[in-house]
Structure 1
Amino acid sequence: METSVKDRIIAIIAQQAVRDSHEVTPDMSLNALGIDSLGLVEAIFAIEEEFDISVPFNANEAEQSGLDLSSVGAIVAAVESLIAAKSPNAALA
């Protein structure tokens, strides 16, 4: 069984927060998890590698990037949208 995007992102974020995956929930903020800006950058690099996507360099500035990285759930939604945009079928929609 393939692991979901959400579960894979939670695993990456949990690793950055030095927590078990079951301790990380979609409604948690990165700040609440103790992830600072450097930790966010490291998590983004890991997410890019895991999903073969490119996150905009200004992703932490929601107004400019259009991505919301305010919570774990928001990051999951942002990554899912980047994956969908990369899909060849996305151009047909």
Structure 2
Amino acid sequence: MNISDRVVAIIAEQAMLDPSDVTPDSTLEDLGIDSLGLVESIFAIEEEFDITIPFNANEPNASDFDISSVQAIIDGIHQLVSQKA
């Protein structure tokens, strides 16, 4: 399973959706994920990939990590994983 599939699976689980319902263009809002779901998703992704996401739950829009869409999150995780390698 590649990074994209793993991220989609985590986000789908948080949204209680089938992974096939999660598209790269989906926003977390589209998927019904609230701020608590977002934080839980971030923690699950960090654990899955053993990375630290530069994300401040108190100021999500002030973070360096783009959470504007599923694809933006996947791109950010690709970057963090490659920096770790």
TM-score if structure 2 supplies the norm length?
A: 0.91
Which residue does 1:77 correspond to in 2?
75
Which residue does 1:52 correspond to in 2?
50
Which residue does 2:6 correspond to in 1?
8
Aligned length: 83
Which residue does 2:27 correspond to in 1?
29
Unmatched segments (≥5 aa) in structure 2: none
Which residue does 1:90 correspond to in 2?
none
Query: 1:55 Cα deviation (Å)?
Result: 0.8
TM-score if structure 1 supplies the norm length?
A: 0.84
Query: Take 2:12 and 2:45, find their aligned partners in 1: how far apart are those partners?
Result: 12
Identical residues among aligned pairs (%): 57
Query: 1:46 Cα deviation (Å)?
Result: 0.3
- Deviation per CA, 1:43-92: give whole Å up to 9, x if none: 0000000000001242722xx432211110000001111111111xxxxx
Write the letter of the residue equivalent to 2:16.
V
CA RMSD of aligned residues (A): 1.2
Bigger relative contact order, structure 1 or 2 (CA pairs below 8 A, ≥6 apart) = 2
Following TM superposition, the consecutive aligned residue runs of length 4 or more in structure 1 with deviations greater than 6 angstroms are: none
